A and B are shown apart, each in its own frame.
Chain A
Amino acid sequence: MELLSQPPVNGSSPALHPCYSEQAHRHFARLHLAVAPACNIQCHYCNRKYDCSNESRPGVVSEVLNPEQATMKALAVGAAIPHLAVVGVAGPGDPLANPERLFATFRELAVKAPDLTLCVSTNGLALPEQVDELVKYRIGHVTITINCVDPDIGAKIYPWIFWNHRRIRGRKAAEILIAQQQKGLEMLVERGVLVKVNSVLIPGINDEHLHEVHRVVKAKGAFLHNLMPLIARPEHGTYFGLTGQAEPTEEQLRVMQEAWVGGEGETQMMNHCQQCRADAVGMLGQDRGAEFTMDKVATMQVDWQAALEKRTTVRQTIERRMALQSQFLDKVAKKPIPLPVRRPRTIAPQTLRMAVGSADGRTIDAHFGHLREFLIYDVSSDGVHLVERRRTDRYCSGPTTCGDAAPALSDTIRALDDCAVLLCSRIGFEPWRPLEEAGIQPNSEHANETIDAALAAVYREWRDSGRLDVEDTALSRSSA
């Protein structure tokens, strides 16, 4: 994700948005409400029939809520998770194709939880006509998925749109969609609303073209531009999945992101964006949706006024802590946000790259078997750098690894290939050997210590034993 411009002064602060700020997303929680079932376009990477609770692709949810249920759920989550800061509507269809449902939900929340930031994620087709209504509900952030600005390319991504009471197909459909997206983007920027643009990288279709998209949305004042890898598996039954369309490789994604970062102007990359489920609950990367299914929510007694007060107190505490942290980070490193892109040439000699299993983002608190995501750190005499947050189960690769089951060990090993050490609170006997054989040293000695303390201890151990001289880990591995 790239930070393209300074936020407008009157918009809500992206620093508090867990999808926008690396720092905030460790402290604040977000909730996505699935109140928007209908969609007004078809994308070749989406299968509208899919509704499997084991699915973790974006835009796929298992329980569609009506506005009353959605409000109830948001208030219940807001009472149970006092660091909830953001409520978004992203699907399973398009929020703006369901305006009555969307705005009925927002109306209630504006009264009962005015502290929560509301946001929507849309394909943009109905955006221009809804902008003013959105602004009424203090919408802080809008995400538009823009995959192209050229209708010939659009025709290969969107088979049809529903527009002015007709189904429109082909190039004409793409032309209308693109015009609406661009108009919506301009209108939002004009009104001081933060706009994030998501682009799905589809190799051979829009990969080269995304540079042009980047240039256009940046010029128009989008706040962030986020690259999403295409997900195209035959078992998902999508057009791209069934016609053998290639998914992008890590390398293709990295090259693209680096090209954008290298551009002119003050730009920063963030890499913590998760393609989260449209009904995700909790911190990014930690889906607590199962605790808040509608039948459970219906039994919860919620005092929304007390919850509002509690959240306000919690938020003040977190904001103070974040302010202290950024002061500290400013002193320690010049850059407040760690660069996530792997760039071997900037790594200091004798750097030890470590993978850390942490659910709270602060301590080594996670059991290896439950981990789908690791924090990757580089530790050297220069200090500790968070390289990125890396998923090991990027998408389920079949029924056995789909859903809540842990990702296959081989996938994890492949994903952590450049790390020399793996820190977690516990790890079973079985994965230990294969990890060790792959050159990834598992280590659970630092369970429940803070990440920083554990990293420093392991680094010292390696340095003092002379192993750093033998294995210049991050360098030799990641530049291969």
Chain B
Amino acid sequence: MALHIVASCTSCWACLPLCPHEAISVARPHFQIDSARCTECAGDYADPQCASICPIEGAIVDSTGQALNPPGSLTGLSPVNHPNSPFQSLT
């Protein structure tokens, strides 16, 4: 049970000080979660802290690769006008 940070992370620092297990570290090219330490915040908080402040959709995923903040969930931008959307070129 651990979350992972993926390439879209902008290294904004927001998550790092919040982790109750100091599982998050500064790394290149992006921040990293130590899976041995991450508990997904179970027992500490109702929601995983890193994923609750992360401003980037898709930057934090669970062990199955599912984004905790899927496209549109943070910016409110629908898939069509989302900057990374394949629909973008059609509009």
Question: Which residue numbers of A lie inside 8 Å of B, CB to CB?
Answer: 37-40, 42, 44, 48-49, 51, 64, 93, 97-98, 100, 159-160, 162, 165-167, 237, 239, 242-243
Contacts and interface: CB of A to CB of B under 8 A. Distances in A.
A43 B77 CA distance: 13
Nearest to A37: B13
A181 B13 CA distance: 23
15 contacts: A37-B13, A38-B12, A38-B13, A38-B14, A39-B14, A42-B75, A48-B56, A49-B56, A93-B13, A162-B14, A165-B18, A165-B45, A167-B47, A239-B75, A239-B76
B52 interface: yes
Contact of B55 (A42, A44, A51): A42
A40 B13 CA distance: 11
Nearest to B12: A37
B81 A165 contact: no
A165 B75 CA distance: 19
Contact of B12 (A48, A165, A166): A48
Contacts, number: 61
B53 A167 contact: yes
A165 B10 contact: no
B14 A165 contact: no
Given A39-B14, A239-B77, A162 B83 contact: no
A167 B12 contact: no
Nearest to B88: A242
A100 B17 contact: yes
A243 B49 contact: no
Interface in B44-87: 45-47, 49, 52-53, 55-56, 74-77, 81-83
State the majority secondary structure of interface residues on A: loop
B3 to A, nearest CB: 15
State the majority secondary structure of interface residues on B: loop
B83 A165 contact: no
B53 A40 contact: yes
A159 B45 contact: no
B50 to A, nearest CB: 11
Interface in B1-57: 10-14, 17-18, 45-47, 49, 52-53, 55-56
Given A48-B12, A159-B76, 12 more contacts: A38-B53, A39-B55, A40-B14, A42-B74, A48-B56, A49-B10, A159-B74, A162-B53, A165-B18, A165-B45, A165-B46, A165-B52
Contacts of A162: 14, 52-53
Contacts of B52: 162, 165-167
A39 B11 CA distance: 12
Contacts of A97: 14
A147 B56 CA distance: 23
A229 to B, nearest CB: 22
Given A165-B52, A237-B83, A39 B12 contact: yes
Contacts of B13: 37-38, 64, 93, 98
A93 B53 CA distance: 12
Given A40-B53, A51-B10, A165-B49, A160 B74 contact: yes
Contacts of A51: 10
Name the residue among A40, A49, A97, A166 with the largest chain B CB count within 10 angstroms: A49
B53 to A, nearest CB: 4
Contacts of A242: 77, 81-83
A409 B63 CA distance: 54
The 8 A-B residue pairs with the shortest CB-CB distance, nearest first, are A38-B14, A48-B55, A162-B53, A37-B13, A237-B83, A167-B52, A38-B13, A242-B81
B12 A159 contact: no
Nearest to B8: A49
A162 B46 CA distance: 13
Contacts of A42: 55, 74-75
Contact of B10 (A40, A48, A159, A237): A48
A316 to B, nearest CB: 40
Contacts of A237: 83
A159 B49 CA distance: 18
Name the residue among B11, B45, B75, B76 with the largest chain A CB count within 10 angstroms: B75
Contacts of A49: 10, 56
